[in-house]
Amino acid sequence: MWSSLKSSIIIVQLLLLFSLFQVPPALAIKKSYIVYLGSHAHGSKVTQPVLDRVTDSHYNFLASFLGSKEKATESIFYSYQRHINGFAAILEEEEAAEIAKHPEVVSVFLNKGKKLHTTRSWGFMRLENENGDVPQMSLWNKAKFGRNTIIANLDTGVWPKSQSFNDKGYGPIPGKWRGICQKSRTNTDGFFCNRKLIGARYFNKGYEAYAGNLNSSYKSALDHDGHGTHTLSTAGGNFVAGASVYGSGNGTAKGGSPMARVATYKVCWPPIDEGECFDADIMAAMDHAINDRVDVISISLGGDPADYFDDGIAVATFHAVKHGIVVVTSAGNSGPDPGSVSNVAPWLITVGASTLDREFQAFVELQNGLRLKGTSLSVPLPEDKFYPLINGAQATASNATDSDAILCKPGTLDPTKVKGKIVACLRGETPRVDKGQQVALAGGVGLILCNDHLSGNELIADAHFLPASQITFKDGQSVFSYINSTSNPQAKLQPPNTQINTKPAPFMASFSSRGPNTITPEILKPDVTAPGVNIIAAYSEDTSPTGLDFDNRRIPFNTESGTSMACPHVSGVAGLLKSLNPFWSPAAIRSAIFTTARTRDNTVNPMQEASKEKGTPFSYGGGHIRPNRAMDPGLVYDLRTEDYLDFLCASGYNQTQLKLFTQQPYRCPKNVSVLNFNYPSITVPELSDSVTVTRRVKNVGSIGTYSALVLEPVGVSVTVEPKSLVFRRRSEEKSFRVTLKNKGYHLKGYVFGKLTWSDGNHRVRSPIVVSTAHPS
């Protein structure tokens, strides 16, 4: 008996001991998700009780998974009530997966962070000739400078005190406007709206769900970054005479639609984990912008390409386009890598970045007589004389490597070796302006920023903190060679000066993201390219021109580069076209801009990459924009909501999802193909034998006959039927077929051609993009 009792005691003790040292189960990790339920079927006027019932339905729906309405209420931080149906909530991964299985759910996806598409750390629009990039008075006058248009910007907010948003001469705010001017709780930052800047909202719950509570001083629509002010003024800024950056580029600043009303929807906040603009906030902003009745939405930000129903921008913008709103987005700054383009949904206008025929020249002179053309917007050297010159690696600090010091990374330069000298630093890995900061902190007097091989000939004018000049890769190699060839190298930097009508221009920016489209290869992206290098526009005076902590300067205008800057150029043009043709669909406006764009530079040669290689439609889409031609495109490739739904059918989405998407039954057509989607380009990946695609064009000009002109891609025969289209009235539509056949050349990669419809006056040009595979 005692033996049995003793054994029992030992077993209990062992169990107790085991329980003390047992590893507890891992705590479930909660993240923020978006539960997308499709569309609402509200009427034109929605009352607050209706919106409250929507939110309550979201609480009840989530409660069925979490066990109580109280838990659901605590979890949900956004209820999308107006046009987008869904909510954003804090959930466990298992909970999100279970919700995704529900038949009333279209998709559940993570609240991901996206980036601003400026190259600052990582327009000033001037009148030009007929072949230039910006609207001439003919378009501006006909469109009344965009006076009837409301342009919205999703970005970092706005600096309302900028003269670009002066409302002098403006009449009453348009009666259709439903928006508000949201201010901070205390309004200590003095934010205001007026008859030009008619609205402002800010959204940060998605950011806070990921990053934690935001500093209260940021919680307003005020632009603490400069990016939002720059992009909004490029799209719709008023006329401002005498604008410049430290005297360079002096002229009259103006947006693409200078008399448009503008509104800001702030969705971007201090960067965290490479994200700053979160999906949940973007969707909330878009839901309000649609309801506020804007005409154009400009979005200079993006993330990695994703499934259309798992991407906040793609989901939200579909609802906007369905309501007739033109949405323009930036292509991204991950070039020149192939397949790097973002914002690839076919209902978006996706914009790459190219140069202007204007340079801010800052020459570098070496004591051996070599004179190299660079660019900068910095202050001049204290004296016009030669200074000792070294490269970063010659000043490597004791705890750094030469490979880091040549890039002038923080803490890599030895002050005893830098003091009083000009330092040549290699571009890459750290911000351009930060390299100048490191030289200045080490006691240097100037910076020569030498492009790496990928940057090639792309020169970006920055308001450097110290005298500086950025030079091309080839010229940079000359500087490094000179430094290594003599015991006492010296150089001087000439003050910046502005030159216009420079050649060749435009050419593609190396940073501009490239195709092919990795989500739907049959859809060419980007759509077009626009000025995105060294663009002068309004800037926030709450930050410095470099955005670096040590820089205390404040200026009303600044240069920025990136597809962020290219995007609002197209947004402004879209505003003019919307004002001129209020009943054109977003697809018609895209087509007009796309098919009238140019693919040759001002030397009448094919547009080049920054590396001087020939550009392709994967760089520039339809080409570099020509707004005046877009005013009268002749024909357009139009799209209706049903066409987009057919596209989604062909992309593999089911009818249950589409019913939720549209709030009405939709039957997918039989044998529907993405190749027949009525896009203004023809892209066929992996053409093994032959394929026939169909397109449809609408006459938006005068009556006449259009003939087909084809430039065949190498190794591909192209046949168009019929070869001519006769239009007897305006708005008449005609269909045609294009048959592409692989000639069996076994070519590698993509080849390019074009189809042009011409009536002798208009030239409606569409790229043909084909990759060939071995015939079966």
3-state SS, one letter per residue, for 279-313? HHHHHHHHHHHHHHCCCEEEECEECCCCCHHHCHH
The answer to whether 514 touches 535, Cβ cutoff 8 Å, is: no
Spot the catalytic one: 155, 311, 527, 601. 155
Contacts of residue 125, Cβ cutoff 8 Å, sequence gap at least 6: 133, 134, 135, 234, 253, 254, 255, 256, 531, 569, 572
Record the tokens describing residue 471, joined without a space.
Answer: 């030079």
Residue of 169, 7, 253, 125 lying closest to 568 (CA atoms): 125
CB burial of 685-715 (b: ≥16 within 10 Å; e: otherwise) equals bebeeebebebbbbbbbeebebebebebbeb
To the nearest 10 degrees (0 to 180), the angle between helices 227-236 and 563-580 is 30
The answer to whether 266 touches 203, Cβ cutoff 8 Å, is: yes
Residue of 286, 349, 263 lying closest to 82 (CA atoms): 286
How many CA atoms lie less than 13 Å away from 622 in the CB half-sphere? Answer: 27
The H or E element that residue 156 is part of is: none
Record the tokens describing residue 276, joined without a space.
Answer: 């700053």
Spot the catalytic one: 58, 117, 224, 227. 227
**φ, ψ of residue 137 in degrees (nearest 5):** -60, -25
3-state secondary structure at position 484: helix
Spatial distance between the Cα atoms of 446 and 380, rounded to a whole number of angstroms: 9
The H or E element that residue 469 is part of is: strand 468-471
Record the tokens describing residue 79, joined without a space.
Answer: 């209820």
Helices and strands (H and E) in the chain: how many: 19, 37
How many CA atoms lie less than 13 Å away from 253 in the CB half-sphere? Answer: 33
Cis peptide before 336 (omega within 30 of 0): yes
The H or E element that residue 737 is part of is: strand 733-742
Known catalytic residue at 227: yes
Record the tokens describing residue 106, joined without a space.
Answer: 């279209």
Record the tokens describing residue 540, joined without a space.
Answer: 């926030």
Local structure of residue 656 (DSSP, 8 states): H
3-state secondary structure at position 395: helix
The answer to whether 243 touches 318, Cβ cutoff 8 Å, is: no
Spot the catalytic one: 32, 257, 469, 564. 564
Record the tokens describing residue 220, joined without a space.
Answer: 């307003």
CA 110 vs. chain centroid, Å, equals 21
Q: What is the DSSP string of 622-640?
A: T-B--HHHHTS-SEE----
Record the tokens describing residue 325, joined without a space.
Answer: 């709103």
For residue 97, give Cα distances in angstroms to 110, 139, 657.
11, 52, 17
How many CA atoms lie less than 13 Å away from 5 in the CB half-sphere? Answer: 2
3-state secondary structure at position 568: helix
Q: Which residues are catalytic?
A: 155, 227, 564
